Structure 1
Amino acid sequence: MFQKKRIAILGLMLESNSFAPVTGKDDFLSRLYLAGIEFAEELRKDESKLPTEMRSFCATMDVSMEWEPVPILIGLVEAGGPIEHEFFLQTLADMKGRLEAAMPLDAVYICNHGAMITTENRDPDAEIFSMTRSVVGANIPIVATLDLHGNVSDQMVEAVNLIIAYQSNPHIDMVERGKEAAFAMVEILDGLRPVASIIRLPITPPTVTLLTEKGPYADLMNYSQSKKDAEIMNISVLGGFAYADTPKNGLAIIVTARSDRALAEATARDIADYAWREHKRYDPNLTSLEDAIAQAVHAGENPDALPVALADVADNPGGGANGNTTWILEALVKAGAKGAVLGIFNDAALAQEALHLGEGARFRAIFNRVEPDRFSRRFEADATVVKIRDGDCVGRRGFYANRRLNLGTTVLLDLGGVKVVVISIRTQCADPVFLEMMGIDIAKQRSVVVKSRGHFRAGFDEFFAFDQVIEVDAPGLSSPILSRFDFKFLPRPVFPVDRNVSWPRD
């Protein structure tokens, strides 16, 4: 009798900023941490919290073959500091136990980010990959998807049959990557045994240089994908995540062929040569705080001027920052900016105070009344509570499209010419719904500050063209100026932290 293919699905998605506060179990529980039956129930929801590529993988498998998903465990959280090591070990043990109980399996799909570290381990993604291989054995197919900000080790490549990374930044191609993973899984289940080659370059690209619309990474991505053919089944070029600060950091090229290892190696070297010729382009070009504020003030005073979006790239929760620095906010208020909105400011205590006072209340708003770190300075201003919501929403565009999210208690404060959306669960401002659900007509604003590095571009591009975006040089845990960080584990020298870098190394 014909039996369905039983495919386990699992993942633990965290992008770790080594300089940010530790990420613990409660952080995952506030976003997504499910196993077994609860995981299976979430798979069936139309508006799910699950990673988009995981849902796409499952939907594509549904129409590609007779299969049975075997949900193991999935965890997802906003980028943050290293995961607490004991919690990681507990999760790894839970994953292993559930995999062992689910045997025999025909395949495994792993949905990870790829840039996770723990408080004691610089490569926990490899631990998950290797544990999975140890349980299922050498002959069971394992396909993994990763964020293009993942830091990939040789151990990760060796433990699975195929790694597929995002190709779009902002990340809007997760559906496509999920489909690609599913189609590849079908081929591997039919007997294909792909071979991969990885080359890691001494480049740790600052986040703002990794856009795929234009710039050095866009050109590299286009060049690399032009090398795909009938034999080369996947080319993943991962810019990595410098703030993870690991020995495996460095722009990585993974070329996977269907059978020809020599071709995979030659193709990877060709792409690496191209990338190295362009490596000096990975220098960030930011706008000073003073110039950015001047442009926002100008837009507010001149109706004929184009509105501007100020990207607070150094305080991006999507890069592990707290989402609560006040440098730009304070400067806008002091400059008397008009028609300005800041989204979204992470301050649960301030949101709770506004909730208690109620809509229409006027009070002295204290941002960061307890300063959590050296970047999150205290700031006070007279404010009016305009609107209060529970923060439950569904993403409308770009990175968060069609994903159910919860920002916790959310309030809109009016500080005069500047309005601020304050949230209670740290999230980057990548979707216009975060402002729209608070009654803000974005098209009528003269300037919008987003605490996001780049994903907001795919959400807010209907309001701001590429050239209307100003990437502001302000302090923060996700500053693109990498020389400001005390790296301890990066493979040195590495560009642009170091200037005198050569490749290939002797």
Structure 2
Amino acid sequence: MTAPRIAVGGFMHETNTFAPAPAEYAAFEHGGGFPPMSRGAEIFARLPGKNTGLSGFIGAAGQKGWEVLPTLWCAASPSAHVTEDAFERILTEMLDRLAALGPVDAVYLDLHGAMVTTHQDDGEGEVEARVRALIGPDVPLLVSLDLHGNVTRRMVEEADALVAYRTYPHVDMADTGRRAADVLAARMAAGRPFAKAFRQIPFLMPIAWQCTEMEPCKTLYRQLEEIERGMGLAHLSFLPGFPAADFADCGGSVVAYADTQEKADAGADALTALICAQEDAFAGEALAPEEGVRKAMAIAAGASRPVVISDTQDNPGAGGTSDTTGMLRALVACGATRAALGLMVDPQAATSAHAAGVGAEVTLKLGGKSGIPGDTPFEGTFTVEALSDGTFDATGPYFGKGPMFLGRSACLRIEGVRVVVASRKAQLADQAMFRYVGIEPTEQAILVNKSSVHFRADFTPIAETILVCTAPGSMPLSPASLPWKHLRPGVRLAPNGPAFA
């Protein structure tokens, strides 16, 4: 019996349409904390062992005896829109490589679910539609998604199934690829498409409170698995959505698949009702910068482990620029000691530090160069404590063990505060992102991470407690504060917040 021929590829971007900087082709070539753009056999060299959907799918496909046919895989750090040039170049190459493979038995795509381009609101829907046009209506098309995907009806219609992550921090990206392989196996064994059900949640959920290590998502995802198993569904996904993409379908959703429409509808309705009943719980406590630092200092005075502060509104994992200075100002103004902040992305400052050398003092205008309202460069004299070329291995569960490339980097100290300065953007979600410039995170009293939730995977085990602070940034904690123009009418802009008109 001939092994099934499964074509695979990936094209991942989370788009914050309110962010200042677009994603150009070069951003996908670099990868932004994930492997660089990989073609053909390069996928087998770079992806296995990484925490990505395609990595998990490849491993599961091998166990099932499938022949995996790689096309192209790429990802870029979240930012503003993907440029038309980048989107068309990448998708055209992926389609050309897919066409060159000849007839295939199925296609698996590792997508994000919240891509908006300068010419397409529904990036993933367009990717799926063009792949579908190439392979025809009968070849199964399976797609894995980030749980921050903003699912559209077009995405649901074009794919045989959408399989989303179930953890945030996303420690199960590879596991999701394996789940997608199981769903694909069931689809091929059935010989016909699943019945589908799609529901949209009527309110936007702030990403800081979507964490699956906390309520309400901790319980909701357990209930999801109970519904999926108890109702005999082929698959069930809940996507809280990415609440910073200004188009009609932004927001949370549920998708269900089963052998009958009755089952699919029942599963989707049951989970949607549970989610809506928890609307109050999708709001949490956040602190102003100096308020948060003072609270952290008070806790740290009697603690043996660091207090970790999330600089949530400058989260590069949600389109932030990773260069705002509000939390740095608060640390210095409050006289914090044994404190460290990362990453501050400022190539000019990193270059100046390298030119000055270890031990030198440099006077800089650090960060604050992105034009974020309420943010300006931090002017001060810093001591250069360490330098790095920015190449090191991640060690934590989010990025997965493997190399990172942050460009010319430095550890700069001002009074009792150390700052990790890098030339390339990636959210501070791994302890190694402090250690590569000589900062041991476990020995600090206060750590400030430019990340909303992903840092929790590697930092919760070493943290005395975790606080959330709201310094100026391009990803406001409350979606209601964004200048929406294109949402669907009636969706609430925050839990129990005003409805978009």
TM bin, normalised by shorter chain, reads over 0.9
In the alignment, is residue 366 of structure 1 matched against residue 365 of structure 2?
yes
Rate the CA distance shift 1:403–1:154 in 2: closer, same or farther, 3 A: farther
Is 2:442 the partner of 1:443? yes
For 2:241 and 2:118, how far apart are their aligned partners in 1? 19
Aligned twin of 2:391: 392
Structure 1 pair 156–369 and aligned structure 2 pair: CA distance change class (3 A): closer
Q: Give the whole-Å Cα distance in 1 for the aligned partners of 2:6 and 2:392.
A: 31
Q: How does 1:317-336 map to 2 (within 5 A)?
A: 317-336=316-335
Q: For residues 369 and 216 of structure 1, do their structure 2 counterparts lie closer, same or farther at Cα, with a shift above 3 Å needed?
A: closer
Q: Kindly tell me: are residues 132 and 371 of structure 1, through their superposed partners in 2, closer, same or farther at Cα, counting changes over 3 Å?
A: closer
SS at match of 1:225: helix
| 1:35 Cα deviation from its structure 2 partner | 5.1
AA aligned opposite 2:37: L
Q: Name the aligned partner's letter for residue 360 of structure 2.
A: A
What does residue 213 of structure 2 align with?
Answer: 213
Query: Residues 93 and 378 of structure 1: is their aligned pair in 2 closer, same or farther, counting only changes over 3 Å?
Result: same
- Under a length normalisation based on structure 1, what TM-score does the superposition of the two structures give? 0.93
Contact 2:77–2:426, Cα closer than 8 Å, also in 1: yes
Q: How does 1:304-383 map to 2 (within 5 A)?
A: 304=303, 307-368=306-367, 370-383=369-382
Residues 418 and 102 of structure 1: is their aligned pair in 2 closer, same or farther, counting only changes over 3 Å?
A: same
Contact 1:23 1:82 in 2 (8 A): yes
Corresponding position of 2:186:
187
Q: What is the Cα deviation at residue 298 of structure 1?
A: 2.9
Q: Which residue of 2 aligns with 1:492?
A: 489
Match of 1:264 in 2: 264
2:226 paired residue number: 226
Q: Distance in 1 between matches of 2:467 and 2:81?
A: 30
Please state whether the residue corresponding to 1:458 is helix, strand or coil: helix
- The sequence identity of aligned pairs, in percent, is 28
Unaligned runs of 5+ in 2: none
**Structure 1 position 306, deviation (Å):** 5.5
Larger CA deviation: 327-336 vs 224-233? 224-233
After superposition, the Cα gap between the structure-2 partners of 1:493 and 1:285, relative to the gap in structure 1 and judged at 3 Å, is farther
The reply to whether residue 275 of structure 1 matches residue 267 of structure 2 is no
Alpha-carbon distance between aligned partners in 1 of 2:223 and 2:349, rounded to the nearest angstrom: 48
1:359 is displaced (CA, Å) by 1.2
Report how far residue 358 of structure 1 moved.
1.3
User: Aligned partners of 1:92, 1:442: CA distance in 2, in Å?
Assistant: 40
Determine if contact 1:103/1:136 at 8 Å carries over to the other structure: no
CA separation of 1:498 and 1:449: change in aligned 2, threshold 3 A: closer
Equivalence for 1:43: 44
Taking a change above 3 Å as real, the CA distance of residues 36 and 420 of structure 1, as seen in their structure-2 partners, is closer
Q: Does the 8 A contact of 1:206 with 1:284 survive in 2?
A: no
Q: Partners in 2 of 1:338 and 1:322 — Cα distance?
A: 26
Give the letter aligned to residue 308 of structure 2: A
The structural deviation recorded for 1:184 is 2.1
Task: Extract unaligned runs of 5+ from structure 1.
Answer: none
Asked if the contact 2:43/2:72 (under 8 Å) is kept, the reply is no
Q: Does 1:242 align with 2:243?
A: yes
Q: CA deviation at 1:194?
A: 2.1
Letter in 2 for 1:201: I
Distance in 1 (CA, whole Å) between partners of 2:453 and 2:368 is: 29
Deviations 1:300-356 (A, max 9, x none): 6x2557531110000000000001110110111122111100011111111111111
Query: How big is the shift at 1:82?
Result: 0.6
1:98 aligns with 2:97: yes
What letter corresponds to residue 331 of structure 2 in structure 1? L
Distance 1:409 1:150, change over 3 A: same
CA contact (8 A) 1:150 1:240 kept: yes
Indicate the RMSD between aligned Cα atoms, in angstroms.
2.0
Which position in structure 1 is the counterpart of 2:73? 74
1:477 to 474, 477, 482: 474
CA distance in 2, matches of 1:133, 1:33: 26
Paired AA for residue 143 in structure 1 = L
AA matched with 1:247: A
Do the aligned residues in 1 keep the contact of 2:283 with 2:495 (CA within 8 Å)?
A: no
TM-score normalized by the length of structure 2:
0.94
Q: Distance in 1 between matches of 2:340 and 2:60?
A: 40
Taking structure 1 as reference, are residues 201 and 304 closer, same or farther at Cα in structure 2, changes over 3 Å only? closer
How far off is 1:441 after superposition? 1.9
Rounded Cα–Cα distance in structure 2 between residues aligned with 1:247 and 1:371:
27
d(CA) in 2 for partners of 1:202 and 1:297?
Answer: 39
What SS does the corresponding residue of 1:190 show, helix, strand or coil?
A: helix
Please name the residue that 1:23 is paired with. Answer: 23
Cα 1:35–1:429, aligned 2, differ >3 Å: closer, same or farther?
Answer: closer
Cα distance in 1 between the residues matched to 2:303 and 2:134? 64
